[in-house]
Amino acid sequence: MIHTSHGTIHTPIFMPVGTVGSVKGIQLRDLYDDINAEIILGNTYHLYLRPGTDVLEAAGGLHKFNGFDRPMLTDSGGFQVFSLTGIRKLREEGCEFRSHIDGSKHFFSPERVIDIERSIGADIMMAFDECPPGTAEYSYAKKSLALTLNWLNRCVQRYHDTEPKYGYHQALFPIVQGCTYRDLRTESAEKVAEIGAEGNAIGGLAVGEPAEVMYEMIELVNSILPHDRPRYLMGVGTPVNILEAIALGVDMFDCVMPSRNGRNAMLFTANGTLNMRNAKWSTDFSPIDPDGHSAIDTLYTKAYLHHLYKAQELLALQLGTLHNLAFYLWLVREARSHIIAGDFRQWKDLMVPRLSQRL
């Protein structure tokens, strides 16, 4: 369990992505009652650009601004900034970039990012890092890691030099990088472990490398990171990825997949995935998911949801997102119950082939 000022998080946990202060298409009552999200994410890059830190500070932080009174985590914005290839300039001091909204020029340094995250007020703040491409050459990956470790030291210093703005504790999680190079991942994990942070993250995976390589890197890093601190695998992934990573010692996950796929007619269930645009669902009047991980699963039929997607009704996007997020939260809670029962690996080995099916 992770204890924060806004509540306790039971791990393993999946964190719905609320990039600009909202989980797309989902109201607070759904996050509380149907999905039962224990923690959600906000994104430093997007929240900095709009509504801006002045608005967030005037509101009393993101919790007060969006009304979500449970724990929140902010990613550092590093992934977003460094995905702006062609409209950013990287140097030792930080990164200059242009807004994807209006082209205006901005600068993120490690210190500036910590200041922004203090203004947002999330319970867990991520350190500023460079997220290099998964296909990066060794020479680039090594140079990138050196920069990330330098920035990490500056983030830690700024974190200790500043205080929370809203009267409650904020934790800082470092991020392990190093692409798929074992020596770089080892170096990064060792440096991160030395910091003694309240939790640690693994970044730069699920960016194009084979799943087997991703699992190899997770296993390597988790053999170094402290076992008594939460370990957060950033941006991963499919239900199968999540179960395999839990088996390797990961505690926390986030990914846009359940919400994005839900908006695009792909639903996840314990028996596999469904493409709700397929004609075969047009006269299937069975529930969306008879196992009922969400309140909507037994209220609506596959045929009705198929109709909504085909008619491009906004309700389809909402229902698909609700279903998928509720399923992801159910999956990690089931994993927790099997870990406690002592039969997680047997259950995981049964679930993986089921989850991998296309229905």
| Distance between CA atoms of residues 137 and 69, nearest Å | 43
DSSP, collapsed to helix, strand or coil, labels residue 211 as helix
Of the candidates 75, 129, 251, 289, the residue annotated as catalytic is: 75
13-15 β-sheet, strand order: 13-15, 252-254, 231-233, 200-202, 175-176
Distances (CA, A) of 6 to 2, 64, 76, 83, 147: 11, 12, 20, 32, 33
Which residue in this structure is represented by tokens 């140079």? 143
Q: Please say whether the beta carbons of 73 and 50 come within 8 A.
A: no
User: Are β-strands 272-275 and 13-15 bridged in parallel, bridged antiparallel, or unpaired?
Assistant: unpaired
Of the candidates 123, 129, 251, 254, the residue annotated as catalytic is: 254
Q: Please say whether the beta carbons of 302 and 276 come within 8 A.
A: yes
| Distance between CA atoms of residues 200 and 192, nearest Å | 7
Helices (H), the chain: 28-29, 44-49, 53-59, 62-66, 78-82, 110-120, 138-161, 182-195, 211-222, 239-247, 257-263, 302-310, 314-341, 344-355
**Catalytic (active site) residue 254:** yes
Q: Name the residues annotated as catalytic.
A: 75, 254
